[in-house]
């Protein structure tokens, strides 16, 4: 016999427990560490987006302090998002914990530090900050790819206090990579493999390397255009890509360290330790081995690509010969590409592709992380 | 003169305002509407992931009730994630508001309804539920692509109560599309265009349509393999794709309705109103016009693809001739592809690609939305 629910619950009202909405706007006090290209782009984005976030999301972002490696600027003005770093402010010697304490010392407000440095010394502070209830958002790869014991201390501090650490910008800059993988895992999917082209610089070099000019000429060209790090070996070594792969592997529950990644550097051993000027002078010593690789690829009808791969617990980074019909053979210029093969995405992978470097898109990743924190703290609609 | 921060703030402790962590686990009471393929996949995923979410994220998911269009099952067992729908339960005639009241009537717990139906009648309830503080997660396109006045009422209800509506699964199923666009907009980027292949069925048809067999044979084949809706016209009309484009346009701040989309249906007018059996019988009447399109594409060295496009405020859906070097020419089988061109991603677009349909990946999108809600309600680490 079917009975009406009214027989069971005659007086049930359509009303959930009231949500804890803040009476006024949610105020986020922000400290930015590292006002370089990414930090500056972030400050500009925050300034431009702040009015809309206040109006539509009831979220008030307040820039409280900025620090570089030697100085910090402390703001005491409530309306600071309209200020500039290089104004009539007082710069003070940087003491990062005092900096953090200044940002966090504002009653009930949410305190967030945006680490836009690439510094291991800053990452060393994360556990302390998170443990003190200060959220951290960052594209700095040092913590998430650094020593495992530190990474565990950071996770424990975050779990204990509830403060969040978000680092979407560490892989693929503004592309949705880290959160996508986390969502797959959190909803019970199982990672079978990750394949990626995780360096825009290396993608550009191998997209262009067709034998019409020596490899060293392409490196010089990329260097002049600002595509490479000041010392191109920082790209060619593959270590930066390996850091990204470590981050993704940990996200998937595989506690790898940098030493666990099989990194095949493009730099011959005899050019590893010389100074940068000598390396640039001797760049053409890369040409013969690279030309041999290209010949080998051509002989099998394939192409050369710099690929990061995580498969069956094994992580590797280096140049590979791929079939001409491989998706990576068609990637465009400096694009990053990440392919997640999972139990659910096993026939065809889940692919995210696009520009994976640059100040604006990296800053946007940090901004997105900041909105995730605000969303977690109860802000409406955003994040 | 540089002074130490200690001179300014000598007593500042490194301690943010304590975060409001729940003492025990955050309890989410869940009601699932529509226990079809997607709803059943969701129940399975929830059951498998629940132990880990409780252990690692302090999140307790409790399935409270399930409803189809005629019956509902009310659970009074706290450990219901281990139960099945088709067990020794009492089915009751569905009355959706009573159903919602049952799920929400549990003290301080977070109440979430997962609408896994494709029903407009269910979407009609969203504003009331959200206004009452009940969160809604759904792959149902009806609300987000339906009448604008209803959509505005839904947004207002959500804003007023703080209850969330998430609908990642409406476009590309489990692919990160809706949240990606929202993040771009929220961080101040500007959408220049969206181009997408948003139907796996139509992608498959045009990937296969090379002239070696008539178009109708491919439609019959797709129908037999279960790639199409029971009536293939629901795919071929392009209306479902148009709904997805409406959802993306609204997300970008452009309040379009279905009537604003220029939809070029693949179904000739004289086959629009006949019954399904007659349509299937007369399917080969599509062959001549489709063959003509293919000839036209070939003459220009291009390929045929079914494309949704939003550009300069204009939305269109239909078959297009694309150059052989266009990214969509290389898409694989049933893959969905979405390309966002924005002010920040203007030279190369941000591209998300992969399987964009199917019960498992659609359910995963609903699950991810559920984790977003839990994250917004203070759950640690997840979302």
Per-residue pLDDT tens digits for B135-160: 999 999 999 999 999 999 999 999 88
Cβ separation B102–A14 shorter than 8 A: no
Q: Are residues B127 and B218 located together in one domain of the fold?
A: no
Residue A233: band (very low, low, confident or very high) from pLDDT cuts 50, 70, 90: very high
Cβ separation A101–B9 shorter than 8 A: yes
Closest CA to B244 of B86, B344, B357, B320: B357
Nearest CA in chain A to B329: A330
Q: Are residues B316 and B334 located together in one domain of the fold?
A: yes
Inter-CA distances, B305 with B170, B202, B204, B337, Å: 21, 8, 10, 12
Residue B21: band (very low, low, confident or very high) from pLDDT cuts 50, 70, 90: low
- For residue A115, pLDDT over 50 is answered with yes
Cβ separation B19–A133 shorter than 8 A: yes
From the CA of A236, how many Å to the nearest CA of chain B? 23
Q: Are residues B182 and B166 located together in one domain of the fold?
A: no
Inter-CA distances, A19 with A377, B111, B135, B160, Å: 12, 10, 10, 10
Q: Are residues B164 and B36 located together in one domain of the fold?
A: yes
Bridge partners, B261 (sequence order): B315
Task: Tell me how many residue pairs between chain A and chain B have CB atoms under 8 A apart.
Answer: 277
Of residues B48, B348, B354, nearest to A351 (C-beta): B354
CATH number of the domain that residue B101 is part of: 3.40.50.720
Residue B375: band (very low, low, confident or very high) from pLDDT cuts 50, 70, 90: confident
Which pTM does this prediction carry?
A: 0.91
Of residues B100, B187, B351, nearest to A364 (C-beta): B187
Which positions in chain A touch B349 (Cβ < 8 Å)?
354
- For residue A1, pLDDT over 70 is answered with no
Inter-CA distances, B300 with B295, B303, B309, Å: 9, 9, 21
Of residues B15, B107, B184, nearest to A17 (C-beta): B107
Structure tokens belonging to residue A48? 């431009």
Residue among A62, A223, A233, A244 flagged as catalytic: A244
pLDDT for B353: 95
Binding residues of A for NADPH: 141
Residue A5 domain-assigned (yes or no): no
Would you tell me how many other CB atoms lie within 10 Å of the CB of residue A120? 14
Residue B120: band (very low, low, confident or very high) from pLDDT cuts 50, 70, 90: very high
Q: Are residues A126 and A264 located together in one domain of the fold?
A: no
CATH number of the domain that residue B345 is part of: 3.30.360.10
Residue B324 domain-assigned (yes or no): yes
pLDDT for A381: 53
Which positions in chain B touch A111 (Cβ < 8 Å)?
16-17
Q: Are residues B140 and B283 located together in one domain of the fold?
A: no
From the CA of B271, how many Å to the nearest CA of chain A? 34
Cβ separation A107–B17 shorter than 8 A: yes
Across the range A2-30, mean pLDDT stands at 64
- Cβ within 8 Å of residue B155, ≥6 positions away: none
Residue B247: band (very low, low, confident or very high) from pLDDT cuts 50, 70, 90: very high
Bridge partners, B380 (sequence order): none
pLDDT, tens only, A121-169: 999 999 999 999 999 999 999 999 999 999 999 999 998 888 999 999 9
B38 annotated as belonging to a binding site for a ligand: yes
Distance of CA B251 to the CA centre of its chain: 12
pLDDT for A166: 96
Q: Are residues B160 and B195 located together in one domain of the fold?
A: no
Nearest CA in chain A to B3: A92
pLDDT, tens only, A237-259: 999 999 999 999 999 999 999 99
Across the range B97-108, mean pLDDT stands at 87
pLDDT for B362: 96
Residue B35 domain-assigned (yes or no): yes
Residue B205: band (very low, low, confident or very high) from pLDDT cuts 50, 70, 90: very high
- Residue, of A381 and A367, whose pLDDT is higher: A367
pLDDT for B378: 67
Which site among B186, B225, B382 would you substitute to test the A interface, given the most A Cβ atoms closer than 10 Å to its Cβ? B186
Across the range B359-381, mean pLDDT stands at 87
Closest CA to B244 of B220, B216, B263, B219: B263
Residue B4 domain-assigned (yes or no): no
Which positions in chain A touch B134 (Cβ < 8 Å)?
14, 16
Structure tokens belonging to residue A142? 């040092």
Of residues A111, A161, A375, nearest to B375 (C-beta): A375
Q: Are residues A315 and A199 located together in one domain of the fold?
A: yes
Domain count, chain B: 2
Rounded-to-10 torsion of CA A43, A44, A45, A47: 80
Residue among B142, B223, B243, B244 flagged as catalytic: B244
- For residue B126, pLDDT over 50 is answered with yes
Residue B16: band (very low, low, confident or very high) from pLDDT cuts 50, 70, 90: confident
Nearest CA in chain B to A380: B162
Q: Are residues A88 and A235 located together in one domain of the fold?
A: no
pLDDT for B8: 43
B51 annotated as belonging to a binding site for a ligand: no
Of residues B158, B348, B360, nearest to A335 (C-beta): B348
Which positions in chain A touch B377 (Cβ < 8 Å)?
19
pLDDT for B380: 58
Structure tokens belonging to residue A233? 């070996």
B39 annotated as belonging to a binding site for a ligand: yes
- For residue B240, pLDDT over 70 is answered with yes
Binding residues of A: 34-39, 141, 229
Cβ separation A176–B175 shorter than 8 A: no
Q: ipTM above 0.85? A: yes
Domain that holds residue B112: 26-173+361-377
Average pLDDT, chain A: 88
Degrees, nearest 5: CA angle A217-A220-A223? 150
Which site among A14, A131, A251, A380 would you substitute to test the B interface, given the most B Cβ atoms closer than 10 Å to its Cβ? A14
Of residues B19, B133, B355, nearest to A348 (C-beta): B355
Structure tokens belonging to residue A228? 């490479």
Which site among B21, B73, B187 would you substitute to test the A interface, given the most A Cβ atoms closer than 10 Å to its Cβ? B187
- Residue, of B251 and B56, whose pLDDT is higher: B251
Residue A71 domain-assigned (yes or no): yes
Residue B20 domain-assigned (yes or no): no
Average pLDDT, chain B: 88
Residue B329: band (very low, low, confident or very high) from pLDDT cuts 50, 70, 90: confident
**Contact status, residue A375 vs residue B376, Cβ threshold 8 Å:** yes
Residue A6 domain-assigned (yes or no): no
Structure tokens belonging to residue B119? 């029903």
Cβ separation A45–B15 shorter than 8 A: no
Q: Are residues B251 and B295 located together in one domain of the fold?
A: yes
Which site among A19, A154, A172, A186 would you substitute to test the B interface, given the most B Cβ atoms closer than 10 Å to its Cβ? A186
Q: Are residues B320 and B234 located together in one domain of the fold?
A: yes
Across the range A347-352, mean pLDDT stands at 93
pLDDT for B81: 42
Q: Which of A352-356, B92-96, B221-225, B308-312 has the lowest mean pLDDT?
A: B92-96
Q: Are residues B212 and B298 located together in one domain of the fold?
A: yes
- For residue A86, pLDDT over 90 is answered with no
Q: Which of A305-319, B28-42, B61-75 has the lowest mean pLDDT?
A: B61-75
Residue A383 domain-assigned (yes or no): no
pLDDT, tens only, B177-192: 999 999 999 999 999 9
Nearest CA in chain B to A333: B348
Residue B344: band (very low, low, confident or very high) from pLDDT cuts 50, 70, 90: very high
pLDDT, tens only, A170-208: 999 999 999 999 999 999 999 999 999 999 899 999 999
Q: Which of A32-41, A68-77, A265-274 has the lowest mean pLDDT?
A: A68-77
pLDDT, tens only, B285-328: 999 999 999 999 999 999 999 999 999 999 999 999 999 888 78
Question: Catalytic residue at A244?
Answer: yes
Residue B241: band (very low, low, confident or very high) from pLDDT cuts 50, 70, 90: very high
């Amino acid at each position: 016999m079917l009975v009406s629910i009214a027989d069971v619950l005659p007086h049930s009202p359509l009303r959930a427990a009231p949500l804890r909405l803040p009476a006024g706007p949610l105020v986020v006090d922000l400290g930015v560490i590292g006002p370089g290209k990414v930090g500056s782009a972030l400050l500009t984005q925050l300034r431009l987006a702040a009015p809309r976030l206040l109006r539509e999301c009831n979220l008030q972002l307040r820039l409280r302090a900025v620090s570089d490696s030697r100085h910090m600027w402390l703001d005491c003005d409530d309306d600071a998002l309209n200020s500039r770093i290089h104004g009539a402010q007082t710069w003070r010697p940087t003491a990062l914990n005092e900096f953090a304490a200044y940002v966090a010392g504002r009653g009930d407000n949410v305190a967030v530090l945006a680490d836009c440095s690439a510094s291991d010394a800053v990452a060393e502070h994360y556990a302390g900050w998170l443990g003190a209830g200060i959220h951290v958002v960052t594209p700095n790869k040092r913590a998430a790819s650094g020593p495992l014991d530190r990474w565990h201390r950071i996770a424990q501090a975050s779990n204990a206090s509830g403060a969040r650490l978000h680092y979407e910008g560490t892989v693929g800059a503004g592309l949705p990579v880290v959160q996508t993988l986390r969502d797959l895992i959190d909803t019970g999917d199982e990672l079978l493999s990750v394949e990626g082209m995780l360096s825009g610089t290396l993608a550009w070099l191998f997209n262009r390397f067709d034998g019409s000019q020596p490899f060293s000429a392409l490196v010089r060209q990329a260097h002049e255009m600002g595509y490479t790090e000041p010392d191109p070996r920082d790209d060619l070594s593959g270590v930066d890509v390996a850091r990204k792969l470590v981050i993704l592997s940990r996200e998937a529950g595989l506690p790898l360290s940098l030493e666990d990644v099989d990194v095949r550097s493009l730099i011959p051993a005899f050019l590893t330790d010389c100074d940068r000027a000598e390396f640039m002078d001797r760049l053409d010593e890369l040409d013969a081995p690279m030309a041999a690789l290209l010949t080998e690829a051509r002989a099998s009808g394939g192409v050369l690509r710099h690929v990061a791969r995580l498969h069956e617990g094994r992580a590797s980074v280096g140049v590979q010969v791929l079939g001409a019909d491989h998706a990576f053979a068609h990637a465009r210029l400096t694009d990053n590409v990440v392919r997640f093969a999972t139990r659910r995405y096993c026939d065809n992978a889940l692919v995210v592709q696009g520009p994976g470097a640059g100040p604006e898109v990296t800053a946007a990743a940090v901004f997105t992380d900041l909105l995730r924190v605000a969303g977690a703290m109860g802000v409406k609609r955003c994040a």
